[in-house]
Amino acid sequence: MLGEDHSAINEFPEYKETLEKLSKEDKNFAEKVKQYDAIDREIRKLELAGSPISDEAMHQKKHDRSVLKDELNEQLQKAARA
């Protein structure tokens, strides 16, 4: 669905406490969350504006978001097991 919120907190509701804790304790993790959320906001804004960029550029933004999401998921799972 266009304009859907895929922010980190919405994508990982089961890790809400872990997400908040890691964001406070790990600057690298916090920066990844910040990057992820910024890319997501940009994608939503572009989608709602009718995607005024090339398909290739949009695909790259979605790919970058996906890569960051995978990295965040891996770190969240590790922290939750610890």
Q: Taking residues 14-26, what's their average pLDDT? A: 96
C-alpha dihedral (80, 15, 38, 40), degrees to nearest 10: 120
What average pLDDT is seen over the chain?
A: 94
What is the pLDDT, as a whole number, of residue 4?
87
pTM greater than 0.85: yes
Q: How many CB atoms lie within 10 A of CB 75?
A: 19
